[in-house]
Structures are given as structure tokens and as C-alpha cells.
Structure 1
Amino acid sequence: MATEKVFRARINKRRIRELFIDGEYISIQLLKNRDDIKLEQKIQKYLAKDISDYPSPVEFHITEVAHVTNKTSLEDIWELEGFMGLDRYSLSWWSLKINEADIKAAEERYLEELFPDITKEEKTAHPPFLSKFTTSPVFINETSRYGNFRFTFSLTELMEAYKKQICNDKEPVLRIYETKLFKQEIEYVVLIHSPEFNDQLSHFPLLTSNPWVAYDGNKIIWKAQAICETHNFQLVTGQNTAEVQTKYLYQFYVWDQVSLAFHTSEVLTFPKRKLKASLSCCEQDPNVNLSNGQNCSSLDEAKKCIESLQDDDEKEDEKEDINP
């Protein structure tokens, strides 16, 4: 009889202890009942709570992804004109970029799940409620936990570039890489690689019929189990209606997210104009450690950093025009 795998601990690049188990996505409910997780007091502080009456699971269909980085890595990306896996596994990390339209669409799907007989008119007229619950860092685009600089691409565009440049025009392979646990965060990681590495990476299951994460060719479908960082509302359902009521006084609980890890030892390049168009800056969460590089002390400094990079490029373009 096979021995059940257990979570192992490691220190990540941000010098934070994380637990991980490879080749599986483990639901919050199953995590609550695992003996190896019950021994983790810092995680149990949040995971062990029973918080009811909030939307779960909520199905999001995400078409945009983001790579967030610090000042040092931004300069490297600018010089290379693209992204490269720099850790020992040659992985380039991306997160889901969720906007207001994505939240609204997820809300409509949730209403349809709650009330199968709801009419189109009732759904359209229903007061919004999901935005009261989408309070985890996944949904906050004004700040970042990983740096001041965010590159945003459509998933279709990123996958097409990866297919052509890294996969020799073959379809990328998506696999269940790991579940990672932090004090308050649960992360489900999707591994994306070239078919060239199928043999080496076959011990990671293919991402096919997983109940929490799926891929349909142009979007990631994520069934989020915990969308709040703090809970002070409850969702009360009636006759084809869902009403938000105040209940909790900032009860902290776990939240989950999905990350994409692109396997590449080569630079995934984009035209410089595309990099410029995709780049924006955001506030850095001061409570999160950044690894191996500098970052900006303020949003204004980040904006000036972007302007400086773009000005330098314009000067180089002018030189080329004068001296072709």
C-alpha cells in the first residue's frame, strides 16, 4: 500500500517558510483534516476556523496574467526584452490578473448556481454582492506583495509566444505542480512546459479534470474556495436573492490563489513596445520580504524609474535614426 505523501517545509526566495506537496491540489476542507497540517500552529491559527455563510466556491474565468517584480529584475527584463526562469528550476512565475468585469461575471455564475431557476431579468436586477467578499490580495490590483512593477499580458498572447519560442510551435503542456501553504495563504501552482520535457516531468499529473483549476485554451478557470482575507460580512440567501449582512468584526481566515510557473531556460521575448504597453507600477506591501534585489521606496519613485527606462530607450532610438 502506497504511503501518503506529507507536506514538507522549505525557505523560499523571500526568506519565508512555506509548506509544499507536489503533484496535488488539496482542498481547504481536506487540509483541515490532515494530521501533518494539524501540527502547524501558525497555519492552524487561520485554517482551523469555521467561517460560514460566505460565497464558496466561486468560479472565475481569467484571461489576463501578470508578472510582478522588483527594480533589479525590472532592469534585467528591460535589457533582455523578455522573461527568463531564473531560479534553479528555470521557472518564470505569473499570477492571475482579476478585474471588476471578472468579479461581476463570477457573481452571475454564482447566482445561477445558487438559484438554477433565476431569470435573466432577476439576475440583471440583483444588487451586487461579491465585491464585498473579494478582499484577499489576489483581487487588490493597486498594491503588490512582490514588487512595484507589474507586466500584464493576455493569457492567450503569453501562451502563443511561449508556444512559438519555447515549444517549437507545439502546444504547451500544463501540469499540477504543487500546493503551497503559508500562514494565511494557500497557493495552487500550475506548471507549464514544452512537450520536450514530458518524460522528465511526467510525475506531475496533467491539468485535466481537476475540480479547482482548469484551462480551456484561452483562460484559466479557477474555483476559488476562500476569497476573503478578512470576514465581516455574511451572505444570506432568500427567494432568488442573496443579501449581504454585517456579521463578523474582522475575522481573519485563509485565502487561496493560483500561480502559473512557466518552465524556460531561454528568454521569452516580446517587442519593446509591447513591454512598454504592458508595464505599470503599484504600491509595494511593506509587510512582505523581497528577495535578491532593490525595490522602490514609494510609488512616485517607481513611476520615475519607468519613465527613466523609457527615456533611455527613446534616446537610443534617436541615435539609431541619426546613425542608421
Structure 2
Amino acid sequence: MANKTDNRFSARWNKRNARELYLEGEHVSIQNLKMRDDIRQEQEVQKYLSKNIPDYPTPVEFYITELTHVTNKNSLQKIWDSEGFKGFEQDSLSWWSLKINEADISAAEERFLETRFPDRSKEEIAAQQPFLSKFTTSPPFINDSSRYGNFRFTFPLTELMEAYKKQMCEDEEPVLRVYGTKLFKQEIEYVVLVHSPQFNETFSKYPLLTSNPLFSYEGNQIIWRAQAICETHNYQLAIHGKTVVTQTMYSHQFYVWDQLCLVFHINEGEVLTFPQRKLKASLSCCEADRKVKLWRNGENCSSIKEAEQFIESFQDDDEKEDEKEEDAFGEVKMEAE
């Protein structure tokens, strides 16, 4: 049998009113997805998954030290007012993605080369030209736009996990579990659950994250072994001796791409809090991707400029205090005059 388990993907509609296939408690690799009987019946998914794509870098290990939470105008206001992050009402989960920058891509490229050619000479190393950035074109690598809204919070992984440990886990280590695999027409999303030890029984049906070929957590960094990093394949990989080169494809190809998300369980009525000055320092603006369905219960800005102006309207406690002092100084000056 192609399927190693009796579990099957089930279809449902998510918060963005988009159809997704979902499998609880398992991370299914692209190779195994191709062999599953329940997925072979999904024509929209097969349109991309079944393609034979020319060579590209895979798997590629990215060492990630930052997480990002992107939201819309309405939710940003709620985060600011509550001074932190709550879980969605339906599942008490706060969703976070990996933040991947140019340095992360360069480091992943070097690891890919060292694994492929462990005995390169100094001359061969010097001759190698950068190539991975030509392939990292899927949404997880694009920081100036997002499918989830205009506003991006970015936190160091260690800081976010430490805050979660102190506020939600009574200073015990958070527990990580394999939450599931979500499959869309072109996207594969692997979800990892983070929760307090006090909810071990509640989430016991999800396997603990121990040996996982796609993802590992080492305390101060996440290692993501990405399988498909191109949303659109414009290049193919070629090997010349011990050097990697890219070749432009005659005709581009669309293929599946994968990403990794961490979801933090935040019990109803609780908030993962941060000082407002920290929230504002971690906040930036991005374009809302109009090509996908955005969450129907949210409002986005029409431009980056509008988003930036909206952020400027938020004052943290330090700024409010400075403003009070300026007003008081102005009143004293007027009295003196």
C-alpha cells in the first residue's frame, strides 16, 4: 500500500475562506505525499505536486533565529490594546512563521555546498558564485509582502520562547509537538504546536517533536530542512565538477512549495504580553499580497504609506510620558512669558 497509515487528509475551509486538506499529528514529506492514494484523488493539488521539475537545491537546511507574526489592521489594534498576543477564539492558537533573511540564505547555501562537495579545494570554493537566492522565490523568503496582512511583528526566537516559558509554562520548558500537515493547491504547510506542560494530556494525541526529518529545535535556533523553495521555477541546477551553476529554463514551471509554522497555545483569557515599546520596535509594514484570499474578518491598508501612518498613531508608554513632559514644559514656559 502507498499509505503507511490509516489516517487520511480531510478537507475543510480555513479562516481565509480557502479550502485546505489537513492531516493531524503527522508531517508528510513531498515524496510521501506523491504516493498517497487520498492525495492522488485531489486534482487541484495534483496539478502541481505531480510535476517532474528540473533539478533545484533540495533539501536545504535553514538555521532560523527569528519568528514573525503578520496581521491586519483590525488585529493589530487588538494586539496593541491588549499589549500582546492572544490565540484565535476557535483554537486558542497564535500562528507564527519563520523569518528568513539574506544572511540565512547565504549560510544555507554554504551548508548545501559543504554537504554536496565536502572536499572542495580553496580554488573551487573561490570560484563558486552565489546561486541559492535565485531559487528562494516562494513566499517564506519574501519579507516585503505577505498573504496575511500589512503588519509584521518580528521577534528573536529565544526572546519569544523565554516569554512563553515564563508567562504560560510557570517557568517550565515549553513542549513541542507535531501538529499536522496542511495542503493547499500549491502550498504545503507543516505545523508545530508549542504548549505548556500543564496541557500535556490535552494535546497527547499529537506526537512529541523528537526525531523529525523536516524540522528540529535546538533551543536557540530552528533547523528547517526545506524541500521546495521555488514558487516559480525559472532556473535549474547544474553541476560542473565541484561547482554549482544555474541555468535559465526555456519555459518557467510552477510547482509546490513548503513552509513551516509554529503555533503557540494561549489559553482563553490569557495574553502573551510584551511592553508596548517592544511591540512597536518589533513592528514593520509590508504589502498585502492581493493574489490570495486574505482573512475575511480583517481590514488591510491600501498602501505601505497608509500602513506606516497607521503605526505612527500608536504611542507606547514612554512616548506618552515624553508627550506629557513636553506639554508640562510648554505650560510652564507660557506662564513664565
What TM-score range do you get, normalising by the shorter chain?
over 0.9
Q: Equivalent residue for 1:23?
A: 25
Aligned partner of 2:294 among 290, 293, 298: 290
The residue type equivalent to 1:282 in the other structure is C
Is the CA contact 1:146–1:288 (under 8 Å) kept in the aligned structure 2? no
Is the CA contact 1:65–1:155 (under 8 Å) kept in the aligned structure 2? yes
TM-score (norm 2): 0.92
The residue type equivalent to 2:252 in the other structure is Y
Q: CA deviation at 1:121?
A: 6.0
Cα distance in 1 for partners of 2:278, 2:237 equals 42
1:80-110, CA deviations, whole angstroms, 9 ceiling, x for partnerless residues? 1100102321000000000000000000000
Report the more deviating stretch, 106-115 or 120-129: 120-129
Q: Equivalent residue for 2:52?
A: 50
Report the more deviating stretch, 102-111 or 199-208: 199-208
Identity of aligned residues (%): 69
Aligned partner of 1:102 among 90, 93, 104: 104
The residue type equivalent to 1:80 in the other structure is S
Change (3 A) 1:124 1:67: farther
Cα distance in 2 for partners of 1:170, 1:321 equals 44
Is the CA contact 1:233–1:245 (under 8 Å) kept in the aligned structure 2? yes
Q: Equivalent residue for 1:255?
A: 257
Q: CA deviation at 1:118?
A: 1.9
Is the CA contact 2:277–2:317 (under 8 Å) kept in the aligned structure 1? no
Note the residue ranges of structure 2 that are not aligned, 5 or more in a row: 329-337
1:26-48, CA deviations, whole angstroms, 9 ceiling, x for partnerless residues? 01011111111111111111001
Count the aligned residue pairs.
Answer: 322
The residue type equivalent to 2:288 in the other structure is Q
Change (3 A) 1:315 1:131: same
Alignment of 1:1-324 (within 5 A): 4-119=6-121, 122-123=124-125, 125-265=127-267, 266-291=270-295, 292-310=297-315, 314-315=319-320, 318-319=323-324
Cα distance in 2 for partners of 1:25, 1:207 equals 10
Is the CA contact 2:280–2:316 (under 8 Å) kept in the aligned structure 1? no
The residue type equivalent to 1:268 in the other structure is L
Cα distance in 2 for partners of 1:170, 1:55 equals 39
Q: CA deviation at 1:312?
A: 9.5
Cα distance in 1 for partners of 2:211, 2:126 equals 31
Change (3 A) 1:68 1:87: same
Change (3 A) 1:110 1:83: same
Is the CA contact 2:228–2:258 (under 8 Å) kept in the aligned structure 1? yes
Cα distance in 1 for partners of 2:27, 2:283 equals 31
Report the more deviating stretch, 303-312 or 234-243: 303-312
Cα distance in 1 for partners of 2:127, 2:308 equals 40
CA RMSD of aligned residues (A): 1.8
Note the residue ranges of structure 1 that are not aligned, 5 or more in a row: none
TM-score (norm 1): 0.95
